A and B are shown apart, each in its own frame.
Chain A
Amino acid sequence: MDLLNALVVLANFVLIPATSYGAQLALGALGVTLIYGILRFSNFAHGDTMAFGAMVTILFTWLFQGWGISFGPLPTALLALPFGIAGTALLLLGTDRAVYRFYREQKAAPVILVIVSMGVMFIMNGLVRFIIGPDDQQFADGERFIITAREFKTMTGLDEALSIRTSQGITIVTAVIVVAFLFWFLNRTRTGKSMRAYSDNEDLALLSGINPERVVTITWLIVAALATIAGTLYGLDKSFKPFTYFQLLLPIFASAIVGGLGSPVGAIAGGFLIAYSEVMVTYAFRKVLDYLLPWYEPEGLVQLLSTDYKFAVSFSILVIVLLFKPTGLFKGKSV
């Protein structure tokens, strides 16, 4: 019984939150890694792209809510998601035409593109703050819980409760669908294969008649979808605040780099690795230990680091992995 209680506490406070956070990071890191693979630079504007996508989705959600359209027990934001993706895709394609294409034709050094993406980051950040403001925004509606704490207790008769929020459930389900679809696309379709060929060897791909502009356009479209979905899910799960998205840049890049930049599988593995470590290192294990080792009475909360130091976790994992495996866990590429 104690063992079960301990497991439930662990699942409630560590496993479920970390899984949904990991899914959000993985979706973000997939976008970063795709841009790195195809366009060959680290896109610092990715956090703000996520914020922009989430913002468009929120605006449409409010519109739908105003019209009285709802999605039953599910959040209305899911209905608004396609519109958010479309808006973000327009923005990204526009940025590519106006900004990035010039440097691509010049074959500029990757680090120049990184600095260019810093400029894009400023503009997107300004845009989001200009349109929706720098404050917290609420847009979640529908049923809040899949299982509430009380239901779980009456169902199982345990002392501890497990509650699953709708946003967590949706995050995990959506992430699985999106990732499955992305891998099917990359591995099975002609366009996906041409993208991988372009990423592996640009010259050879050009020789075999692959149109680079088409590959780039499709990449931006996929990145728009991934960023908007990741941003909206994060906003549903936590809350929407433009600055938080900017700060997500660190864990997202850490995930992509730890997994190996340019490797989609690596991005997913990295996302979950970072999320689990972040949550486990900053979780107070006292309650779990109380059940598992009743005779051991720890003095404090048995918390390795306070939650404010979560950045330190992504950073340490990043440095440790890079010191021992310089191209990441799944062999990434380097430009």
Chain B
Amino acid sequence: MSASVRAPLLFAAVAAMFLFTGFTSSWNSALGIFNMGLISAIMALGVNMQWGYAGLFNIGVMGFVALGGLGAVIIGMPPVAEAWAAGGVRILLGLLLALATILGAVFVWKRMKPGRWRGVAITVLLVIGFYAFRAVFDGGVEAVEAVNPAVSGNLGGLGLPVLIGWPVGGLLAAGAAWIVGKTALGLRSDYLAIATLGIAEIIIAVMKNEDWLARGVKNVIGLPRPVPYEVDLQQSTDFLARMQAIGADPVTASSIVVKLLYAALFASVLLLLIWLTQTALKSPWGRMMRAIRDNETAAEAMGKDVTGRHLQVFILGSAICGLAGAMMTTLDGQLTPTGYQPLRFTFLIWVMVIVGGSGNNWGSVLGGFLIWFLWVQVEPMGLMLINLITAGMADGSPLKDHLIESAAHMRLLTMGVVLLLVLRFSPRGLIPER
């Protein structure tokens, strides 16, 4: 089967799966899965840029996704005026001090002659800077976190429309990617992988512990929405009249309308990104990226700046992941740092890219939808399977209870099997790179 027939067929099959869910269970849940599928597809696009275009092995996706979510919170939440008055300035001052210390150390490193004195100077500078930073910063944090800790205890955000938070989330992730890339991109692939894994854990640790920023494990809830609330729709006479006209239950309809609005927003972002990434891939830049991926030495001999291009594509891919993270936090309406698990937010995205076909943007999008659908649906399917297997066992037998209880963990198993099967029998993915 040629690629031009195969891809549309596969997309049609995935669409049919969603339609099937819609018809058999409910449109509400089908749309819910579809919306996360859109976001997953965007994340997969980001990873595909790094891995598929450039061969960069980034398993810190979770960190960039979480930073994107932080971006949405910082832009969307209203500011906590009291906290700003109590210690906001002090915190900012502390962070500036830390930044100045690091910049100073870099300056000394570049300007002084290599030798023992340079090491001493940098160490002294860093130690003094660290204590100065802690002295200023800690007091501010204490003051801010003491402000009404049950409800806020953080600085809040800027109170701007949450949609602005999406690109800002991407920018935050891009900034982090720049720092990671500057330090770690020179490393070999496995080392880079472990370094990104570490960065992701550190980002999550910061978000869990720095309560002044986004309340840490106390979670930020009630993030403003870009779309109307269901309750408001149900009370609007205009909406009720329209639903009456088509004979729909207003409660269900309101929730479907909200989901459709989200879907429209996400889909427009996804379409824009597909257009951009496809254009980039077809451009001389894309050909250069693939040339670098396939043979770094040859590309370097042709005068291409391999490290520079790697840094560029690493930042771009991470920014897309951050954007998707901001969108996801907006959809959830809350930021829960404990919810970020590497299996779900890093390795699952990798499964999407590999299964879809690395190097092919349409493949990643397909993988995003397909794998997300499986991830959600395997749990009920696994439960059905277990119920079938255990149907012959006596009720209340410990083995039966245990099996039914454990059915929820079937999804990890399934994802592993799917990944291994694809790698074995179709190593270039469902829609291979052309």
Q: B410 contacts which chain A residues (CB < 8 A)?
A: 126, 130
- With contacts A130-B406, A133-B406, A249-B197 taken as known, whether A111 is within 8 angstroms of B57 at the C-beta atoms is yes
State whether B187 touches A322 (Cβ < 8 A): yes
Is there a chain A Cβ closer than 8 Å to B151's Cβ? no
A118, A133, A243, A246: which has the most chain B beta carbons within 10 Å?
A118
Instruction: Encode contact with A along B402-433: 1 for CB under 8 Å, 0 otherwise.
Output: 00011001111111110110011001000000
In the assembled complex, the Cα of A4 lies from the Cα of B424 at a distance in Å of: 62
* Across-interface contacts of A254 in B (CB, < 8 A): 194, 198
Contact B409 A314 (CB under 8 A): no
A184 within 8 A of B: no
A112-B358 Cα distance, complex, nearest whole Å: 12
Contacts of A222 in B (CB 8 A): none
Indicate with 1 or 0, residue by residue over A100-128, a CB within 8 angstroms of chain B CB atoms: 00100000001110111011111111110
Tell yes or no: A99 within 8 A of B by CB.
Answer: yes
In B342-371, the 8 Å CB interface with A consists of 342-343, 347, 350-351, 354
Interface of A is mostly: helix
A115 touches B194 (CB 8 A): no
By a CB distance below 8 angstroms, the chain B residues around A131 are: 406
Partner of A130, one of B208, B409, B415: B409
Q: Is A156 in contact with chain B by the CB < 8 A criterion?
A: no
Q: Which of B190, B198, B351, B405 contacts A311 (CB 8 A)?
A: B198
Binds A, one of B199-207, B280-288, B323-331: B199-207
CA distance A102 to B423 in the complex (A): 11
**What are the residues of chain A within 8 A of B409 when measuring CB–CB?**
126, 129-130, 134
Q: Report B-chain residues with C-beta under 8 Å of the C-beta of A134.
A: 409
Whether the pair B184, A125 counts as a contact (CB closer than 8 A) is no
Chain A residues with CB under 8 A of B229: none
Q: Does A308 sit at the interface, judged by CB under 8 A?
A: yes
With A116-B423, A315-B199 in contact, is A42–B413 under 8 Å at CB? Answer: no
Instruction: Determine if B209 and A306 form an interchain contact, defined as CB atoms under 8 angstroms apart.
Output: yes
Contacts of A170-229 to chain B: CB distance below 8 A: none
Closest to B406 in A: A130
Q: Which residues of A contact B341 (CB under 8 A)?
A: 243
Q: How long is the Cα–Cα vector from A109 to B350 in the complex, in angstroms?
A: 18
Which residues of B sit under 8 angstroms from A133, Cβ to Cβ?
Answer: 405-406
Q: Select B420's contact among A110, A119, A311, A312, beta carbons within 8 Å.
A: A119
Q: Which residues of A contact B297 (CB under 8 A)?
A: none
Contacts A122-B415, A323-B183: A114 and B190 contacting too (C-beta < 8 A)?
A: yes
A323 to B194, CA, bound (A): 14
**How far in angstroms is the closest Cβ of chain A from B405?**
7
Q: Are A311 and B347 in contact (CB under 8 A)?
A: no
B201 touches A122 (CB 8 A): no
- Give the distance in Å from the alpha carbon of A309 to the alpha carbon of B205 in the complex: 6
Contact call B420/A116, Cβ cutoff below 8 A? yes
A318 within 8 A of B: yes
Interchain nearest-CB distance for B307 vs A (Å): 14
Q: Which residue of the partner chain A has the closest CB to B409?
A: A129
Name the residue among A122, A133, A314 with the largest chain B CB count within 10 angstroms: A122
For B206, the closest partner residue in chain A by CB is A309
Q: What is the CA–CA distance of A261 and B423 in the complex, to the nearest angstrom?
A: 26
Known A-B contacts A111-B57, A116-B423, A130-B413; A318 and B198 likewise in contact (beta carbons under 8 Å): yes
Nearest to A242 among chain B residues (CB) is B409
Residue A250 at the B interface, CB < 8 A?
yes
Q: In the complex the two chains form, what is the Cα distance from A17 to B413 in whole Å?
A: 35
Are B420 and A314 within 8 A (Cβ)? no
Say yes or no: A312 contacts B419, CB within 8 Å: no
Interface range for A: 35 or more
The answer to the question of B20 belonging to the interface, with a C-beta cut-off of 8 Å to chain A, is no
**A319, CB-defined interface residue at 8 Å:** yes
Cα–Cα, bound, A102→B420 (Å): 11
Q: Is A137 at the interface (CB under 8 A from chain B)? A: no
How far is it, in angstroms, between the C-alpha of A121 and the C-alpha of B347 when the chains are bound? 10
Question: Is A253 on the interface with B (CB-CB < 8 A)?
Answer: yes
A125's partner among B202, B412, B427 (CB-CB below 8 A) is B412
CB pair B191–A322 under 8 Å, yes or no, is yes
The answer, yes or no, to whether A38 is at the interface (CB within 8 Å) is no
Flag whether B268 is at the interface (Cβ < 8 A): no
CB distance B198 to A42 under 8 Å? no
Across the interface, which residues of B come within 8 angstroms of A119, CB to CB?
351, 416-417, 419-420, 423
Q: Does B195 contact A (CB under 8 A)?
A: yes
Contact of B406 among A123, A129, A257, A318 (CB under 8 A): A129
Contact B194 A311 (CB under 8 A): no
Q: Scan residues 242-275 of chain A and give those whose CB is less than 8 A from a CB of chain B.
A: 243, 246-247, 249-250, 253-254, 257, 261
Could you say which of A121, A253, A309 contacts B416, with CB atoms under 8 Å apart?
A121
Q: How far is the CA of A251 from the CA of B347 in the complex (A)?
A: 18
Complex contacts, B201 vs chain A, CB 8 Å: 247, 250, 311, 315
Q: How far is the CA of A315 from the CA of B202 in the complex (A)?
A: 9
Q: Is A138 an interface residue (CB 8 A)?
A: no
**Cα–Cα, bound, A129→B411 (Å):** 11
Most buried by B among A114, A115, A300: A115
Query: Max chain A CB contacts within 10 Å: which of B209, B405, B412, B424?
Result: B412
Beta-carbon contact of A115 and B198 below 8 Å: no
Assess whether B209 is in contact with A314, with CB atoms less than 8 Å apart: no
- Is the Cβ of B188 less than 8 Å from the Cβ of A334? yes
Q: Which of B55, B57, B420 contacts A114 (CB 8 A)?
A: B57
Selected from A114, A122, A246, A308, the residue in CB contact (under 8 A) with B193 is A114
A–B complex contacts, Cβ < 8 Å, 8 sampled: A114-B57, A126-B409, A126-B411, A308-B208, A312-B202, A312-B205, A319-B184, A319-B195
9 closest Cβ pairs, A-B complex: A122-B416, A126-B412, A126-B413, A315-B198, A123-B416, A119-B419, A129-B409, A311-B201, A119-B420
Q: A247-B201, A254-B198 are in contact. List 19 more A-B contacts (CB 8 A).
A: A42-B194, A102-B424, A115-B350, A115-B419, A116-B420, A118-B350, A123-B416, A126-B414, A129-B412, A250-B197, A250-B198, A257-B190, A257-B194, A309-B205, A315-B201, A318-B191, A319-B184, A326-B188, A334-B188
